[in-house]
Chain A
Amino acid sequence: MEGFLQLLLNGAAQGSIYALIALGYTMVYGILRLINFAHGDIVMVGAYAGLFTALGLGAQEDPTLLNFILVLLAAMLVSAGLGFLIERLAYRPLRDVPRLNLLITAVGVSLLLENLGQVVFGATPRAFPEILPMKVLAQFGEVALNNQQVLVFTTSLALMLALEWIVLKTKLGRAMRAVSHSHETAALVGIPVDKIISFTFVVGSALAAAAGILSCVSYPKVDPLMGVLIGIKAFVAAVFGGIGSIRGAVVGGFTMGIAEAMVVGYGSSTYRDALAFALLILILLFKPAGLYGKYQPEKV
């Protein structure tokens, strides 16, 4: 039972990271109906941005909360810029072509980032400086809660609440929701559609960078292909929750993280990466719209 609780805790920590990435997928899908394959690679770029900031600040020798926040903000800023650029250069010119082309462009951008990453950063993994040395904060029997998990939970929770506030309470958020319903109608009532789409990419990419930094807190390693698998799993999480739904992304992320921890804990870790796909196929076959998604039959 205590082993189960520990797995649950570990899985939830990983799940909150998946949830942050899944939010980016779901927001972009909601607004453009595009699966942004490059999203996982934005996580990677964010992690590298964090790595260089941390090295610049000397965070290894001076592990303070302030340094962590600086690293986080730098990574979010760089990734947000990258997300803006990608949307502007690669996706915006394709607004009126079939969505298949957009999807292939997204695959292309993803490959470009991965290969550029390998050329610029080198293909070998690099160690991420330990910003926050692990320390067990509380012990309930066999179940241990460490400070890294607390950091991951509080940061991701804060970001999710901030996102919720932006989407539900601000004028920008209202515009985002309007654009996701219909580009044409939103434009008719005076919403600058292109600007709102850019803003969505900026927010989603910043969240992805935060997820990259948080995953580096517990697994201190970065490499140019780190975004592939984490991106795919987060995508599955988004589909599981119902792509396009923000609540679904969060629920899906946690489910994914916990399910994975259970497979590793009780089953075999060779099949761990197949789990994501198996889960995906099951949900798509039985409930294609996901937990919170709305099924829209095609109208003639």
Chain B
Amino acid sequence: MAQNLRTLLFLLAASLLAQGLAWVLPPYFSQVFMLACINAILAVSLNLVNGLSGQFSLGHAGFMAVGAYTAASVNVFLLSPLQTNPVGEQVALILSLLVAALASGFVGYLVGLPSLRLKGDYLAIVTLGFGEIIRVVILNIQSVGGARGFIGIPDTTSAFLVAFTLALCVVATHRLVKSSHGRALLAIREDEVAAEAMGVDTTKFKVGAFTAAAAVAGVAGGLFAHYLQYINPATFGFMKSVEIVIMVVLGGMGSVSGSILAAFLLTLLPEALRPLQEVTKLDLRMVIYSLLLVVVMLVRPQGMFGRKELWDLLAKKTKT
């Protein structure tokens, strides 16, 4: 009980701090901060699949797209009567995010059930394929704008809500790892055959992790849609999936704090490199980005933190 209270306090403190920052900082910075938080949510959710359960998904942007389009459609087509006062706006947003989570979780379940029979490279390719198929299907739905994109999504997100969702994901993942479900996932990552021999229902846990990750990605997509107020199928292509994978890998597969730190770094890096672009007159940002990925893989294959967490490292420092 005390722990639950502490968790709740942590959640509120973190999100209030974020909202405070958003008020103090210039609008440009708070926009970048919110984008970084959304990316961090995506990274934390993918970390559940790629890091904790040791599977390799390359189609996370597809689930983000499902969430973004569902949230936008629900909010614009169904809940527009609520958009009269600030409270109604927030209720509508939260309802549409919940529906988005359900929808993308369901799609994640449908995709995960057959795909997770495969391993390693094959799984990566199949998830890539499903991600692209989701994108092509959305591209062909005219009622949500098709290739033109979805316009006119209400601007109702706040730094508070984004940071709150991120903090919620962190707490949930942290507690999952400590639970028997989390241990089962870790066992699958270490050795699937051995885990199965020990009585772990590997299919159930793998599909479960995949579904949860898809649902969270859907929420991130919904937040993203309301943050940008415009979404386009091209945003959720293969590149976006790769970007999320890069965040997880850079942070260290399985490390929650690593994923968050990497998501912030990689969102801020292109912004920080803007002056360079003015000097060289060339858009070298993506070159640096991809070079960084290869170099990190060569120099530090386990990512920044490996499987450790920021707090583990800090705790060790204080002990010695």
With contact pairs A99-B120, A107-B242, A115-B290 given, residues A274 and B56 touching in the complex (Cβ less than 8 Å): no
Across the interface, which residues of A come within 8 angstroms of B194, CB to CB? 300
Q: In the complex, what's the smallest C-beta–C-beta distance from A177 to chain B, in angstroms? A: 21
- The stretch among A7-15, A70-78, A278-286 that forms the contact with chain B is A278-286
Encode contact with B along A34-59: 1 for CB under 8 Å, 0 otherwise: 11000000000000000000000000
- The stretch among B25-33, B124-132, B178-186, B211-219 that forms the contact with chain A is B124-132
Bound-complex Cα distance A111 to B292 (A):
11
With contact pairs A105-B298, A115-B287, A119-B287 given, residues A277 and B133 touching in the complex (Cβ less than 8 Å): yes
Task: Decide if A288 is an interface residue (CB 8 Å cutoff).
Answer: yes
Structural contact, A104 and B293, CB atoms closer than 8 A: yes
Q: In the complex, what's the smallest C-beta–C-beta distance from B182 to chain A, in angstroms? A: 20
Among candidates B118, B286, B289, B290, residue contacting A288 with C-beta atoms closer than 8 Å: B118
Task: Decide if A235 is an interface residue (CB 8 Å cutoff).
Answer: yes
Task: Decide if A190 is an interface residue (CB 8 Å cutoff).
Answer: no
Task: Decide if B276 is an interface residue (CB 8 Å cutoff).
Answer: no
**Chain B residue total in the interface (Cβ 8 A):** 41
Bound-complex Cα distance A35 to B121 (A):
7
Structural contact, A274 and B133, CB atoms closer than 8 A: yes
> Whose C-beta in chain A lies nearest to the C-beta of B124?
A103
Bound-complex Cα distance A108 to B293 (A):
6
Across the interface, which residues of B come within 8 angstroms of A94, CB to CB? 297-298, 301
> Whose C-beta in chain B lies nearest to the C-beta of A278?
B133
Q: In the complex, what's the smallest C-beta–C-beta distance from B290 to chain A, in angstroms? A: 4
Bound-complex Cα distance A82 to B298 (A):
18
Encode contact with A along B106-141: 1 for CB under 8 Å, 0 otherwise: 000000001001101110111011101100110110
With contact pairs A119-B287, A280-B125 given, residues A105 and B282 touching in the complex (Cβ less than 8 Å): no
Among candidates A93, A111, A285, residue contacting B289 with C-beta atoms closer than 8 Å: A111
Q: In the complex, what's the smallest C-beta–C-beta distance from A169 to chain B, in angstroms? A: 30
Structural contact, A119 and B282, CB atoms closer than 8 A: yes
Most B CB within 10 A of own CB, among A90, A105, A116: A105
Structural contact, A235 and B293, CB atoms closer than 8 A: no
Structural contact, B301 and A112, CB atoms closer than 8 A: no
- Chain A residues numbered 54-105 whose CB sits less than 8 Å from any CB in chain B: 90, 93-94, 97-101, 103-105
Most A CB within 10 A of own CB, among B56, B118, B301: B301
> Whose C-beta in chain A lies nearest to the C-beta of B120?
A99
Structural contact, B129 and A277, CB atoms closer than 8 A: yes
Task: Decide if B99 is an interface residue (CB 8 Å cutoff).
Answer: no
Task: Decide if B291 is an interface residue (CB 8 Å cutoff).
Answer: yes
Task: Decide if A184 is an interface residue (CB 8 Å cutoff).
Answer: no
Task: Decide if A273 is an interface residue (CB 8 Å cutoff).
Answer: yes
> Whose C-beta in chain A lies nearest to the C-beta of B56?
A100
Structural contact, B297 and A105, CB atoms closer than 8 A: yes
Task: Decide if B245 is an interface residue (CB 8 Å cutoff).
Answer: yes
Task: Decide if A193 is an interface residue (CB 8 Å cutoff).
Answer: no
Across the interface, which residues of B come within 8 angstroms of A288, CB to CB? 117-118, 122
Bound-complex Cα distance A100 to B245 (A):
11
Q: In the complex, what's the smallest C-beta–C-beta distance from A82 to chain B, in angstroms? A: 15
Structural contact, B282 and A281, CB atoms closer than 8 A: no
Most B CB within 10 A of own CB, among A101, A273, A278: A101
Q: In the complex, what's the smallest C-beta–C-beta distance from B66 to chain A, in angstroms? A: 16
Encode contact with B along A110-134: 1 for CB under 8 Å, 0 otherwise: 0110111011000000000000000
Structural contact, A112 and B290, CB atoms closer than 8 A: yes
Encode contact with B along A232-260: 1 for CB under 8 Å, 0 otherwise: 00010001000000000000000000000
Q: In the complex, what's the smallest C-beta–C-beta distance from B206 to chain A, in angstroms? A: 15
> Whose C-beta in chain B lies nearest to the C-beta of A270?
B140
Bound-complex Cα distance A132 to B226 (A):
53
Task: Decide if B13 is an interface residue (CB 8 Å cutoff).
Answer: no
> Whose C-beta in chain A lies nearest to the C-beta of B292?
A108
Across the interface, which residues of B come within 8 angstroms of A300, CB to CB? 193-194, 197
Across the interface, which residues of A come within 8 angstroms of B272, CB to CB? none
Structural contact, A285 and B140, CB atoms closer than 8 A: no
6 sample A-B contacts, Cβ–Cβ < 8 Å, listed by A number: A94-B297, A108-B294, A274-B137, A280-B129, A285-B117, A300-B194
- Known pairs A284-B122, A285-B117; list 11 more (Cβ under 8 Å): A35-B125, A94-B297, A94-B298, A104-B249, A111-B286, A271-B136, A273-B136, A274-B133, A274-B136, A280-B126, A281-B129
| Residues of A participating in the B interface, judged by any CB pair closer than 8 Å | 33-35, 90, 93-94, 97-101, 103-105, 107-109, 111-112, 114-116, 118-119, 228, 235, 239, 270-271, 273-274, 277-278, 280-281, 284-285, 288, 298, 300
**7 A-B pairs with the lowest CB-CB distances in the bound complex, closest first:** A277-B129, A111-B290, A108-B293, A108-B294, A112-B290, A115-B286, A105-B297
